[in-house]
């Protein structure tokens, strides 16, 4: 089957683009230039870009810079994306050169071509709706893309906090359930003094509570955005009224407490707010991994280990050893933690690599930050449902180990 093409032009010349796609020539060039990971843009980032383009069009119409007929078509196209349509048209690789220009132009082209269709035209007829002149009006990649990153990260942070709240509640319930069970406490993996099993679960719940507060505090730094900063934060080509208008519209549309940054040059240059959030995620990952390690030790055995608790049996553990069941849910927590810790290093290095008025490494920073938010939320959810809630205690085993230990003698130490 022969695929029909349309011909588009940019400053580098002409190029054929498949007739049925909604992206255009700049996205096609990005596909050629960056066949790196095979990963496509995160869905929340696509939605955030659609919100940015919609709010910009609404604001530009309001300040009488954009023809309402074109602006309304852009808004309608963005609404369709926000409904989940055309997601497959966002195709650029997550790691790319250009500070996110390929992300931004992918969005501009998809919105423009759909808006053209809504006006009765054919894809590629950019005289009707231009990706640059109309969809990207009063914007640069350098303010539109970071704003989209912040919106996506805020949405995913809220999801993670919800998952962590569920875990914290489950741990508190186990704290109450196991409050009367005495067991041996251990330091250096050696017998120490008795402790209640519930106290161990309560300590983990406290750590998760701190993680929630830390993530919420770090995420709040993403609520200030720089729409209207354009290329270097000076607001060149953006109407003064537009700058205030677009922020208010974006806050209303996303239902997020977004506000205009006090210093747009700072917001364009610096990416420390992402490092702050990534750091909070890393600390959360460390706490989760430590908890998972403890649970694996407490459930070790069952015949030749500590065997103080039972983790739910989720799947057979060996292809050769009969009857073996492994602590797979705790193990997956460890592995997600390792990934998040590694992602944090990438975010840190990418942020440090900024130069002068812009950080061009935001694509890899964004990929790692959003992945950390995603996988942490996912693993916390399944860990809570498929492990923590089903933990039971081996009461007699706990008592036996206390009675066999010399640790209780410490109680009479003067």
CATH number for the domain harbouring residue 40: 1.10.275.10
Q: Looking at residues 178-192, what average pLDDT do you find?
A: 95
Q: What are phi and psi of 290, to 5 degrees?
A: -65, -45
| Confidence at residue 356, expressed as pLDDT on a 0 to 100 scale | 93
Q: How confident is the model at residue 413 (pLDDT cuts 50, 70, 90)?
A: confident
| pLDDT tier at 319, thresholds 50, 70, 90 | low
Using CB atoms within 10 A of its CB, is residue 294 exposed (0-12), middle (13-18) or buried (19+)? middle
Q: Tell me: the pLDDT tens digits for 102-142?
A: 999 999 999 999 999 999 999 999 999 999 999 999 999 99
Q: Calculate the average pLDDT of the chain.
A: 95
Residues 236 and 383 in one domain: yes
Claim to verify: residue 88 and residue 199 sit in the same structural domain: no
- Count of structural domains within the chain: 2
DSSP state of 123: T
Domain check: are 154 and 285 in the same one? yes
Alpha-carbon distance of 358 to 268, in angstroms, equals 6
Which of 137, 152, 181 lies at the terminal end of a domain, its last residue? Answer: 137
Q: Mark whether 377 and 354 lie in a shared domain.
A: yes
Domain boundary among 137, 158, 183: 137
pLDDT tens digit sequence for 208-221:
999 999 999 999 99
Residue entry with tokens 């700058």: 243
Question: In angstroms, what CA-CA distances link 394 with 174, 182, 198, 331?
Answer: 14, 11, 13, 21
168 band by pLDDT with thresholds 50, 70 and 90: very high
pLDDT at 351 over 70: yes
The number of C-alpha atoms within 13 Å of 217 and in the hemisphere containing its C-beta is: 9
Band (15; pLDDT cuts 50, 70, 90)? very high
Residue 46 domain boundaries? 19-137
- DSSP characters for 56-99? HHHHHHHTT-S-HHHHHHHHHHHHHHHTTTTGGG----SS-SST
Rg of the chain (C-alpha set): 27
Question: What are the residue numbers of the active site?
Answer: 318
Question: What is the rounded average pLDDT of the residues 9-28?
Answer: 96
To the question of pTM greater than 0.75 for the whole model, the response is yes
pLDDT at residue 317 tops 80:
no
Among candidate residues 209, 221, 61, 78, the one with its CA nearest the CA of residue 137: 61
């Amino acid at each position: 089957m022969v695929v029909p093409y349309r011909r588009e032009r940019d400053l580098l010349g002409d190029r054929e683009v498949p007739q049925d796609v909604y992206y255009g020539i700049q996205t096609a060039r990005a596909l050629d230039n960056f066949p790196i990971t095979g990963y496509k843009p995160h869905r929340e980032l696509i939605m955030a870009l659609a919100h940015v383009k919609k709010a910009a069009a609404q604001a530009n119409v309001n300040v009488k810079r954009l023809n309402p007929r074109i602006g309304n078509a852009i808004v309608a196209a963005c609404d369709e994306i926000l409904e989940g349509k055309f997601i497959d048209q966002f195709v650029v690789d997550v790691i790319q050169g250009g500070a996110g220009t390929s992300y931004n132009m992918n969005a501009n082209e998809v919105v423009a071509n759909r808006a053209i269709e809504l006006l009765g035209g054919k894809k590629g007829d950019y005289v009707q709706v231009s990706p640059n002149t109309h969809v990207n009006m009063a914007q640069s990649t350098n303010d539109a893309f970071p704003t989209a990153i912040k919106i996506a990260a805020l949405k995913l942070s809220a999801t993670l906090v919800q998952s962590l709240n569920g875990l914290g509640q489950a741990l508190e319930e186990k704290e109450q359930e196991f409050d009367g069970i005495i067991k041996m406490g251990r330091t250096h993996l050696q017998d120490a003094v008795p402790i209640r099993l519930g106290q161990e679960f309560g300590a983990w719940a406290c750590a998760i509570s701190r993680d929630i507060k830390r993530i919420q505090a770090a995420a709040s730094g993403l609520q200030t955005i720089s729409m209207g900063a354009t290329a270097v934060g000076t607001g060149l080509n953006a109407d003064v009224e537009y700058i205030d208008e677009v922020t208010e519209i974006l806050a209303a549309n996303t239902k997020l407490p977004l506000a205009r940054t006090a210093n747009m040059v700072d917001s364009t240059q610096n990416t420390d707010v992402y490092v702050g959030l990534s750091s909070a995620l890393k600390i959360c990952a460390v706490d989760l991994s430590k908890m998972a390690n403890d649970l694996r030790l407490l459930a070790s055995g069952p015949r030749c280990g500590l065997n103080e608790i039972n983790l739910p049996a989720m799947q057979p553990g060996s292809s050769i050893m009969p009857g073996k069941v492994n602590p797979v849910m705790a193990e997956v927590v460890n592995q997600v933690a390792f990934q998040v810790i590694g992602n944090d290093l990438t975010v840190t290095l990418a942020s440090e690599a900024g130069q002068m008025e812009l950080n061009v490494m935001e694509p890899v920073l964004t990929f790692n930050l959003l992945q950390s938010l995603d996988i942490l939320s996912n693993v916390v959810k399944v860990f809570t449902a498929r492990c923590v809630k089903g933990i039971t205690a081996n009461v007699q085993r706990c008592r036996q180990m206390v009675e066999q230990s010399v640790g209780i003698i410490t109680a009479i130490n003067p």
